[in-house]
Amino acid sequence: MTPRETQGLVSMTDGARLGWTALGDRTRQPPVVMLHGGPGLPDDLGDVAAMVADLAPVYRYDQRGTGRSAWQGRHRLARHGDDLAELLDAWEAPEAVLIGHSYGADLASRICMAHPGRVAAMLLMCGPFTGDWHAAYRAERAARMSAAQRQRLRALKETPDRTREQETELLTLAWCTDHADPERGWHRAARDARRRRPVNWAMNRELGGEGQTHPLDEHLAELRACLPARTELLGGADDPRPVSALASLALRLGRPLTRIENAGHEPWSEQPDAVRAHLRRFVRDAVGAPGPGRSTG
C-alpha cells in the first residue's frame, strides 16, 4: 500500500508561513524529518522520503524563502533552527529523527545543539563538511569540467540579471560534477536545474556568510556532547567534496560513517538500493519499527 501524503502550511511566531509535506501515518511517533540542502533551494528529498515512509511518518518542508515557504526578510541560522522546533510543535511531535542532506546536515547539527531534547536520532548525509576541505573540492570540481565549461560557469556567475535560460545553464554547470557518472550526472543536473527553481540567492549569501563567520568547526565539542546516541554519517565515495573530510568529522564526533561506492553528492540517485537499505536499517532502529525476523508482539 502506498503511504498517504498530506500537506499543509504552518505560521511561525514571526509571521513566516512554511509549507510542509508528510508521507505515511502521522499518528506514529517519533516522526522522521528530512532537511534539504541549499541554502536557498526548495526541498528535493521526496524520493528519499518514500524509502522509509512505511516505517515512520516522514515530514519534509521548504525552508523559509524557498518553494511554498514564501519569506521576505533577513535569514539567520538560529531562526531556521527555531523554525523546526515550531514545526514539531505544530505536528505534535515532542521529538523527531532528523535526516539532513548537504547544507541540511549542517542545519540539523545546529538544531541539535539549540534544541537537543527534540532530536531522537540523526543521520547526516553528505555533510556537514568541516575543516580545510574547500581547496580539495574546488580542484576536484575543476578537474571534472572542461576548460570551456569552467569559463562559461565563471561568465554566467558574473552576469547580472540572468535570464531563465542562463540560470538553468549556470545551475547545470554548477551541479554536473556532483555525480560519479559524468554523462548521467549532466542529465540529472540539467533536470534538477529546471525543477529546483527559483533559487533564493539572497538566502544563499546570508546563510552561507553566517556559516563562514560562525563555522560549525568551532562547536564540535558542544555538538558531540549533545548528539543523540543514534547518530551516523553517510557520504558518496565519489562526491567532489572530499569524503575524507566526513571521515575526519566522524572521528571527531565518535560516530560511524558509511561510504556509498560509485555515488556522488546525491547518492540515492545513483545507488538507490544501497541508500535504501542503509536508511531503512537506520530508521527502523531509531523508531523501534519491526524488521525482518523481528516480532511485533
Mean pLDDT, residues 177-186 taken together: 94
Residue tagged 523501534 (cell numbers): 288
Give residue 288's pLDDT: 87
Residue tagged 525476523 (cell numbers): 293
Give residue 293's pLDDT: 39
Judged against a pLDDT cut of 90, whether residue 230 lies above it is answered with: yes
Asked if residues 265 and 236 have their Cβ atoms less than 8 Å apart, the reply is: yes
Give residue 105's pLDDT: 98
CA dihedral in degrees (29, 35, 41, 43; nearest 10)?
-30
pLDDT digit string, tens, across residues 25-82: 999 999 999 999 999 999 999 999 999 999 999 999 999 999 999 999 999 999 999 9
Q: Record the cell numbers describing residue 116, joined without a space.
A: 537537543
Give residue 294's pLDDT: 37
Pairing status of strand 32-35 against strand 96-101: parallel
- Please, what sign has the CA dihedral across residues 130, 228, 275, 62? negative
Asked if residues 45 and 66 have their Cβ atoms less than 8 Å apart, the reply is: no
Q: Sorting pLDDT into bands at 50, 70 and 90, what band is 292?
A: very low
Residue tagged 553528505 (cell numbers): 126
Give residue 3's pLDDT: 86
Asked if residues 84 and 44 have their Cβ atoms less than 8 Å apart, the reply is: no
Where in the chain does DSSP place strands (E)? 5-11, 17-23, 32-35, 58-61, 96-101, 119-125, 231-236, 257-260
Give residue 289's pLDDT: 62
Give residue 2's pLDDT: 79
pLDDT digit string, tens, across residues 234-289: 999 999 999 999 999 999 999 999 999 999 999 999 999 999 999 999 999 999 86
pLDDT digit string, tens, across residues 82-131: 999 999 999 999 999 999 999 999 999 999 999 999 999 999 999 999 99
- For 231-254, b/e burial (b = at least 16 CB within 10 A) is bbbbbbebbbbbbebbebbbeebe
The helix/strand/coil state of 125 is strand
- Strands in 119-125's sheet, in edge-to-edge order, are 5-11, 17-23, 58-61, 32-35, 96-101, 119-125, 231-236, 257-260
pTM for the predicted model, two decimal places: 0.95
pLDDT, mean over the chain:
95
Beta bridge partners of 96: 119
Give residue 297's pLDDT: 33
pLDDT digit string, tens, across residues 165-175: 999 999 999 99
Q: Sorting pLDDT into bands at 50, 70 and 90, what band is 291?
A: low
